[in-house]
Structure 1
Amino acid sequence: MKKIYKNFFILLFFLLLGLRQGYAQSGMALEKSIASLSSYIDAPVNEATGLPSISIPILNVPMPDHSVDYPISLRYNVRNSENTFNVSDVGQGWSLFGTSVIYREERGNVGECDRVNYPSVSQEDTYYYNVLDLSGKLAIKKTAGVYKVVNLTPTNNIKIEVNNSNAIPGLFTPIDFTIITDNGYKYNFTKIDTYQFRCYAYDYPITSGITSSYYLTKIVSPSNVEIANLDYQLQSKTLQNLEIKKYCKIKSIKTSKGEVNFDFAYDDGLVNTVNDPLRLNKISLKNPAGEVLYSFLINTYISSFPSNDQMKRKRILNFIRKNDKIDLKIEQTVFDYENSAQSGQQEGILKKVTLPAGGVVEYNYEDHVYPNHISPVANLAKRIKNINYYKNSIDTTPERTINYNYNFFGTTSSSGYKYFGELDDYSDQKNVAYILYKNVKIWEEGKGYIQKTFITPNDYPKYLTSQLYVNYYYFWPNYNITRWGLLSKEEIYNEESALLSQKEYKYFFDQYQDSQYDFKITPEYSVFISEHISSKIAYILKTNQTEKVFDPFNKSITKESEVSINAMNLKPGYLKSIVNGNIKEKFIAYPINLPGYSHLENANMKGIPVITEEKENGKLLSRSKVLFNNGSLLPTSILTTNIVDESTKESVNMNLYDNKDNLLQFSNVSGVPTAMIYGYNQSSLIAKIEGATYNQVQNLAQAIIAASDVDNSTGTQASEDALLSALNTFRNNPALSQYQITTYTHDPLVGVRSTTLPSGVKQYYMYDNAGRLQFIKDKNGYILEDYQYRYKNYKD
């Protein structure tokens, strides 16, 4: 049975909240590949900034638990193409999204030595964390010898646990972190990376080490079942008799379903260059038997520009090739850059992507324009001007072109404004600026156009709170949300400028009042005054949406909707829609201050819906309640309400789970049980016995469980045949003759291999070397269905 721990509302927080680079004498900064991720937080990647979202999905880590989604991808950011010093392990402008890390904000040599030389002084260390798709910031504060951990991103409802030691007297040094998300899953960060530096005390140098990063090593379910285990490749470098652990790369992600391997190659000659000395060569997916099902080859090269300084020559991503289990090419994606075809020229921004089917996507950029800079501005990255789509690589005329304009609608004036990132303190040296546009028009010739209006920080302008001589102190409300560009209106017009549809959004905000959630904003420079701008972390409390669809006679159908947020966990608590006067409502309750659910709240499972109720025009349509009885962190039963008399009954009872959280037995509303048998190392269902309890069939199922485990670990035709034989014997056991039995076999990470229904009807599923379904056959080997795959014809 699928678990219900799936978040369905994500507030506007992205991969990382901020990054700073700090250098210590004879030490190191953040790894270049980690530092390259900063651009995803420094400036939003969306239509409001003109930064195109370019992502190449690689694969999803095979998770035994559907509550955890672990995608791996490569993403390109235009801002990183202008990065002079930090070229990642996959190439200029590109970043690998595939692991999770907590890393400490570095202070530089002076700040680090102060921590060692003056341990009694009050201190505060800031850490940034990324847990799959959840990101934020935390602080460890020391006051009067007492340490306190503060989640500086309270909107994500995580719980942070820190294990610490005082390796350096008086200096707080965490050994590891555990982050518990709001569905109760634990993410353990125990693999550390350090950098070292030299401090001088009484004229004698002291070598000190500081842990800079903590990497995810394990994912554990609320009931303490290990979901995934991660291993890393550590690379050390000795400089001037001082060993420095400079690099930590993901090596493997292992689950009961399979394994993802990462192959990095180290090049000592790149240590002092702008490139990460380790490059990603390959990502492979293996089944539990150790067989590679497919792999992705990451091909890169070092640019020949500039010819007079090889230290500044950047790594360039050339292509990504997907190979099948016998290492033959399935597909390939190729990348071209500005000037890449011109000898002696620097490879610039990503220009073209040739897709596996042969089509080509071409990106054309332009410089930003905003009011106080009439001329185009080139030092704030680029914005997308248009995107061309070609059928193939030899066509010179695009099939379609999507164009973008950033002026105020109906004018020639730019709607852009320069904004800045968030700071912990005014003394921070980080000063990242980007342009955010109020209006964006998107169109294709002959197909009409779309006008989008965004809420920006200037819609909630800063205001003066105090003044002291030339120091002006401002407060800027809702900045952490509005700085991302929040869609407020979307209008679709036809080619004759007739309005076809319109969506309007209205947001209601609230903010955290505690001073520990305050942050600073870089002010515009002025020679006459000194601006100090602060804000507080805000969140969306309610969203109202009005949608209108117009017919040719300008009559419209209106739909209104509302989403109200539960302030205790920032999840949807109330949803309403109104169409033609018909009102539908949905109420959602979570295990917060609810009787019978305190154990879920203590396990930080605050984001799991436990009570849902739906109404139409005030009349009850449905009501359900998920119970977690006897201290269980897994659902034990579901209560439903009869809408006629509002009586409740148990619609399903989850009677028994195994030690991997698999549901072994459930009963329906009539009390009839169904037993579930799991094999393949407890990872896949191999038999369902309707009418029997698990205890009645447990001993009889040991042979099929053992046979499936062998097939899981060996993956041979002989092991599969042995499993099929064992399943046949199981179905024909006289002790089970009164039950309805369905059996299954699997090709791990590929798909179901066979099914046998209670009627005896069998179907076999055959796959090609790329893992695609090829044939469905009956028990006699006759083909019932035949699947063939080919890309749409193209010239090349």
Structure 2
Amino acid sequence: MNILSAQLQAPKIDMGFPQVIPPSPTVSSLMKFEEVPVNNYTGIPDISIPLINIPTSSKDFNLDLSLKYHPSSIAVSEIASDVGLGWNLFAGGTISRTIRGLADEVFRLDGSTKNGNVGIYFNTNVSNHHNYYYDKISNLSEFAMNQPNEANRYYWDTVKRGKFDTQHDLWQFNFMGQTGRFYIKKNNMGILQVVPLSDYRLKIINRYTNVNGNPYTPSGFTIYDEKGYRYEFDVAEISNGITATRTTHPNSVNEGFNEQPDYISAFQLSKVYDNNGKLLLNFDYYTNYKEGYSKSTYMKRYYEKYVLERDASCMGELPKEMVTNQTNITQVRKIKTITVTDIAKILFNYTQGRNDTNINIKDQAPRLTDITLLDPADHEVKKFSFTQGYTGSGGLNTRMILKKIETSRNGNFIDKYELAYKNTNLGGSYKKDSWGYSTIIDDNNDCDYKHSESINPYSAATMDVLQGIKYPTGGSALFNFESNTYAYIGDQAITDFTPNHENLIKTNTLSYTFTDNGSQLLPLIVDTIAIFRPSIVVPADQPGQVHMMLQSFQNGVQLPGVTSLICQASEPFCCIKMNLDPNKGYRIQRTAFDLNYHDSDGVVIDFFKKKIPENKYLYGGGIRIKEIRYYEANVDINNFDFNLLNPTIVPSKTTRFEYNEFADPTRSSGSLVHPAPIFKTAGTVSLDTNCITANGYITTQEGALYTEVKDFSEMPILNTQGGHVGYKNVKVYETGKGHKEYTYTSPIDYPEDDYTIGEPYTPSKNIDYKRGLLLNEKVFDNNQKKITETNNTYTFDDYVEVSGHKFWQGSNYRGNIWNTYNDYLVDLNQSSLTFPACFITCNCKNKTSFPGYPVSFTSHQEVSEAFGWAKLNTRQSKNFFYENGAQKTTERNETFTYNPLNKKIASQTINTEDGQTLKTNYFYHTGNSSLSQNRISEIEKIENYSNNILIDTKKIVYNNQWTGNVSFLPKEIQTSFANQPLEENVRFDSYDEKGNLQQYTTKDGVSTVIIWGYNTSQPIAKIEGAKLTDIQPSLISAIVAASNTDASAAPGNDESALLSALNTFRNNNALSAYQITTYSYDPLIGVRSITPPSGIRESYIYDAAGRLEKVIDANGKVLKEMKYNYKN
């Protein structure tokens, strides 16, 4: 909803005088706690701690430093930031790259690495290396037909050797509130250009250069925002990696290493310029920090036929087991200094050395220790010190957490934030769930069911999440998170909720042992779920020797179909879950086919009944907020118990969230975009084999199903608005305010319809811009009476980009023994082959074992990515009131149109409750100076209509002909009523090079001059009735120089020299006809004094925290005094 809110922020044209003069300081807020906004659709609260917010020399641009927390960052494998787990410091900006396949610009010959690497841009023949992606990808079938030799070699090298890149890398930016995605495509002129993959309003220019003969090396980006401000990203972060692989075949073990060369993984923001080309911000970085992490993956493959396992190594077939360990090292660039031109300097200090268990090079890992704000003369204004600790030992990883933020000034303590995290030991053994969060129960394993009726096993997902914040005021916010739930995958409703262990109640356990052939009847139990744990494992127990199965019968007659009660080697301690039909009988049949087999076999059966009514949801997909409590009184945030029934301290406010369907409160309204991650897959291998025996050649076709078990999911996981689960219905209860009901668009309304759950695991287009939009909001009072209702409709502009192709080898071929396509081609053209490595009993395979040319066993598919623009089309608002118990309604309807360039509101039409039709049209100025681009969002004109009759018009006339400034700035503000001509309301006569207004004239001809001091950052004098030409330049220079000198002094200094200069200016005879107001400041703190035309000065004194403490007159008499006393 943030994008929509931005779209609907109707621009205004202020008809009053310019607001460049500071008001008198006011008392600081005494709010005990800060309310935390929540994204109801995902259940993710927007938790932040503001640190620094200071202006720049541009009125349109402030520098905002804050910490933001995201609860999804507690997933087991997530790495804590340099602040602490879940916390991110938003200070500068980054454009980061995700490598897809190979780096787009990589070019390495075969001699430098085993296979060589050729990036996607190299579509010319360089040393016999030619990536045909740009030339042939649009018509691969024609390529295969007209150039079969080149096509087969290209397919082989792409799939078998990973030589050619066929997917563009993904670039993502995050800076100053702007986020988005793009890739870089080579156009028909051979130039690399940015192609959007999200709906943003920026102009992005990529830069690349020739490094060591590679002409496509990225060197940075320039971004222009919609006001024409320029952002330079040219501070590179370099990453590299190495992947170690251990592959086990039936008769061999291979180990290999693949080193990824240095590549640019990110560019950090270095400078920000205004649209007059003046430097606003400069970022300097430390260069001596490195961060590293390792990612291990495990895959094991189990064949159902022992004979295939025996022969697998003959053709370099699929391995039995593969373990990989990938290590990545990044030369990170940590912010050292931010310089706000003529305003401030911000210093960042880090120390090295951390104890996180999931990072490498611990001794070099950085930790942010403090941030210091300095004024332009390097005097300390405020310092933030960070205290970190580590998560408890209950979880799978130990990671750094932020525990406290202390604020001080020149060593004097001011205040602090304290933070607490959940560390509850639920018992049992912790593991990762399908989405990577902590759990003590494995929903993928039928053997792993709930072990305690009193403990919700899914609450382990909240391990290490933020639990509480104690604010400097003494108030606290307590966060109660819980596991997400879902009842839909896309638009498909889930019907089987037995994987939710809350729905199972254990009733009995039986155990049977068999030493001979025989059967065992099961007891008749109504509505029963049984979990069988057999002891027979194949192929460890020789296949064909013994079997055990579950048979069903009805009316004494055995029914067709049986359930095998045998474990595969992939799951030697397997469980088989069955829903037993109460209208049928069941028996276990154990049969030994080998007369010499005398082992005993058994099965243990756990019986369960379904909970009635059942909970119609499954757990998973991370966590959501359940409840937020706000306290003014002192509470122990570290040991807080949300389950305490009679708390001794009552919260000042509680906000509670429910995510079930309005129509069926037992069913979750949550939906996944994709199915849950998959860690077990099945496949088939089949080869014709020609074996040499005593009787000659015997040709057999040996094939087998196999099962792959992995600790990672190859299927891409799509999030929705930053969460794994999106909720269609959400209820929010607030203390004393009734409740609200929200209905959103979700994957139920807009599912992904093009994803695959098997190879090649191609990602779907992702239409998430259509999800999470508010459709309906209802507000009820404490008596359940509806107060208001809002209904929204939307339209969409849809875009699809093909960002690459994914190639994979089909099921007909898995061989790996040929190093080059030439080797394979030679053998393919022979009549028969002999492989000495094979078993003596089967050492020859003829060419029917070969699947043919690569184009016949290789497949490919487009990688398409969708993005778009969601536009609020209509909004209906109803208000309800009650007279004598009867409900009455008023209704208001709005429609919106949008500017196609900047995508802001173009018109708003309102049909009011009393039948009036109001319409407002908005027009935007799009001029650019020689120093700006993409200036598309400045409001230029607003027209207001009532019942199709023009009521008034307001217009800003822009000009860029200013001395020392080429920016388009307001020249006039004009107004008119009805159809009258536009008339000047105020004229802006002069600006300085920073865009500071120096003179304006009202419609009655009265001009006002504003003089800027403190290095042109603050107005120090306002002269009403004068023009700039009426004031001697030497008079201006004198007070400007005095203010610049005062700016270099420490806060609270003796400013008598400046005040004297200002008095001299005020009392100059040449200015006696004018009304003069003068100002002095403590930079970054506030106004120090205001002297109006009467000459009666007020001065302002601040405490160490920068809060107004006293107001005194020119004689030192205290006019006002403020004391800040916080409870506790």
| Greater relative contact order (Cα < 8 A, sep 6+) | 2
Report the Cα offset of residue 174 of structure 1.
2.1
2:373 aligned residue (280, 285, 292):
285
State the TM-score, normalizing by the size of structure 2: 0.59
Match 1:328 to one of 404, 412, 418: 412
Question: How much is the aligned-residue C-alpha RMSD, in angstroms?
Answer: 3.9
2-structure distance, mates of 1:487, 1:726: 58
Where does residue 72 of structure 1 map in the other structure? 65
Q: State the match for 2:423 in structure 1.
A: 339
The residue aligned with 1:742 is 1077
Indicate if the aligned counterparts of 1:767 and 1:775 stay in contact, CA closer than 8 A: yes
Secondary structure in structure 2 of the residue aligned to 1:723: helix
Alignment of 1:692-707 (within 5 A): 692-697=1026-1031, 698-707=1033-1042
Matched, 1:491 2:773: no
1:102 to 85, 95, 102: 95
Within the candidate set 193, 196, 201, 2:237 is matched to 193
Q: Which residue of 2 aligns with 1:565?
A: 898
Q: Could you tell me how far apart the structure 1 residues matched to 2:761 and 2:218 are?
A: 39
Work out whether residues 541 and 567 of structure 1, in 8 Å CA contact, stay in contact via their aligned partners in 2.
no
- TM-score w.r.t. length of structure 1: 0.82
**Partner residue of 2:659?**
406
Aligned to 2:346: 260
- Alignment CA distance shift 1:474-1:169 (3 Å): closer
Report what 2:482 is aligned to.
366
Question: 1:158, CA displacement in angstroms?
Answer: 1.1
Q: 1:706 to 1:172 in 2, by over 3 A?
A: same
- Conserved in 1, the CA contact under 8 Å of 2:103 and 2:263? no
- Whichever residue aligns with residue 669 of structure 2, its letter is S
1:225 and 1:589, CA in 2 relative to 1: closer, same or farther beyond 3 A? same
Report the equivalent of 2:6: 10
SS of the residue aligned with 1:381? strand
Which 5+ residue runs of structure 1 have no aligned equivalent? 1-6, 13-43, 422-426, 521-529
- For the 8 Å contact 2:928–2:968, the answer to whether it is kept is no
- Distance (whole Å) between structure 1 residues aligned to residue 364 and residue 618 of structure 2: 30
Aligned partner of 2:337: which letter? S
Partner residue in 2 for 1:544: 874
Distance in 1, Cα, partners of 2:620 & 2:938: 45
C-alpha displacement of 1:539: 0.8
Q: 2:183 aligns with which of 139, 142, 148?
A: 139
| 1:150 matches 2:176 | no
Residues 1:715 and 2:1047 aligned together: no
Aligned counterpart, 1:15: none
Amino acid at match of 2:279: E
**1:79 is paired with a residue of what secondary structure?**
helix
Shift of residue 238 of structure 1? 11
Rg (Cα) greater in structure: 2
State the secondary structure of the residue aligned to 2:169.
Answer: strand
Q: Which amino acid aligns with 1:297?
A: S
In 1: Cα distance, 2:803 partner to 2:1080 partner: 53
State the shift of 1:436 in Å.
Answer: 0.8
CA deviations 1:290-335 (Å, max 9, x no partner) are 122222221101346279x9xx421011112222x24333322212
Separation (CA, whole Å) in 1 of partners of 2:744 and 2:1014: 51
Following superposition of structure 1 onto structure 2, how do residues 147-226 of structure 1 map, counting pairs within 5 Å?
Answer: 147-153=191-197, 155-196=199-240, 208-226=261-279
Q: Is the contact between residue 656 and residue 666 of structure 1 (CA under 8 Å) also seen in structure 2?
A: yes
Mapped contact 2:72–2:623 kept (Cα < 8 A): yes
Residues in 1 aligned to 2:875 and 2:729: alpha-carbon distance in whole angstroms? 19
Is there any run of 5+ residues in structure 2 with no aligned partner, and where? 9-36, 110-116, 123-130, 134-164, 244-255, 293-326, 431-437, 439-462, 488-493, 501-616, 637-646, 676-712, 807-859
**CA deviations over 1:474-502 (Å, ceiling 9, x no partner):** 997x923123x111111111233221111
Q: Offset at 1:774?
A: 1.2
Q: For 1:208 and 1:237, how far apart are their aligned partners in 2?
A: 16
Aligned to 1:392: 634
Q: Structure 1 residues 591 and 151 mapped into 2: Cα distance closer, same or farther (>3 Å)?
A: farther
Aligned pair partner of 1:480 in 759, 768, 775: 768
1: CA distance, partners of 2:369 / 2:228: 35
2:775/2:793 contact within 8 Å kept:
yes
**Once the 2 structures are TM-superposed, how far is the Cα of residue 708 of structure 1 from its aligned partner?**
0.5
Q: Secondary structure at the match of 2:1035?
A: helix
How far did 1:111 drift? 7.9
1:653 to 971, 987, 995: 987
1:213 offset after TM fit, Å? 1.3
Asked whether the 8 Å contact 1:9–1:572 carries over to 2, the reply is no
For residue 142 of structure 1, what is the amino acid of its counterpart? K
Q: Deviations over 1:69-95 (max 9, x none)?
A: 332222222211124241111112222
Q: Could you tell me the percent identity over the aligned residues?
A: 31
Contact 2:81–2:88, Cα closer than 8 Å, also in 1: yes
**8 A Cα contact 1:196 1:209, kept in partner:** yes
Structure 2 partner of 1:19 = none
Aligned match of 2:744: 454
Partner residue, 1:643: 977
Aligned partners of 2:661, 2:257: CA distance in 1, in Å?
63
Give me the whole-angstrom Cα distance separating, in 2, the residues matched to 1:65 and 1:320. Answer: 30
Deviations 1:579-617 (A, max 9, x none): 32233322111135xxxx465997211111111222333
Distance 1:338 1:718 in 2: 47
Q: Per the alignment, in what secondary structure is the counterpart of residue 459 of structure 1? A: coil
State the partner residue of 1:35. none
Q: 1:508 aligns with which of 784, 795, 801?
A: 795
Distance (Å, rounded) in 1 between the aligned partners of 2:231 and 2:1035: 38
C-alpha displacement at 1:775, in angstroms? Answer: 1.4
How far off its partner does 1:9 sit? 5.3
In the aligned structure 2, how far is the partner of 1:68 from the partner of 1:210? 33
Q: Deviations over 1:685-731 (max 9, x none)?
A: 00111222223323211111101001111236666111000000011
State the Cα deviation string for residues 420-451 of structure 1 (Å, max 9, x = none): 59xxxxx9864245111110111246642211
Match of 2:908 in 1: 575
Which residue does 2:386 correspond to in 1? 298
What amino acid does structure 1 have at the position aligned with 2:1101? M
1:204 Cα deviation (Å)?
Answer: 14
Look up the SS of the partner of 1:490 in the other structure. strand
Give, in whole Å, the separation in 1 of the partners of 2:5 and 2:479: 31
Q: CA deviation at 1:790?
A: 2.0
Match of 2:404 in 1: 319
Any conservation in 2 of the 1:367–1:377 contact (CA below 8 Å)? no
| Aligned counterpart in structure 1 of residue 464 of structure 2, from 334, 338, 348 | 348
Is the 1:196–1:244 contact (alpha carbons within 8 Å) kept by the matching residues of 2? yes
1:12-38 per-residue CA deviation (whole Å, 9 max, x = no partner) reads 9xxxxxxxxxxxxxxxxxxxxxxxxxx
Is 1:616 aligned with 2:868? Answer: no
Measured in 1, the distance between the counterparts of 2:210 and 2:259 equals 17
Deviates more, 1:377-386 or 1:782-791: 377-386
Instruction: Decide whether aligned partners of structure 1 residues 576 and 131 sit closer, same or farther in structure 2, where only a CA change above 3 A counts.
Output: same
- The corresponding residue for 2:14 is none
Contact 2:183 2:803 survives alignment (8 Å): no
* Partner residue, 1:417: 671
Shift of 1:767: 1.0
SS in 1 for 2:1055: helix
Measure the CA separation in 1 of the matches of 2:929 and 2:1073.
Answer: 40
**Structure 1 position 576, deviation (Å):** 2.7
Cα pair distance change 1:212/1:681, threshold 3 Å? same
Aligned residue pairs, count: 725
- Assess, with a 3 A threshold, how the Cα gap between structure 1 residues 488 and 408 changes in structure 2: closer, same or farther: same
Match of 2:333 in 1: 248
Preserved contact between residue 236 and residue 243 of structure 1 (Cα < 8 Å): no
Letter of the aligned partner of 1:623 in structure 2?
Answer: T
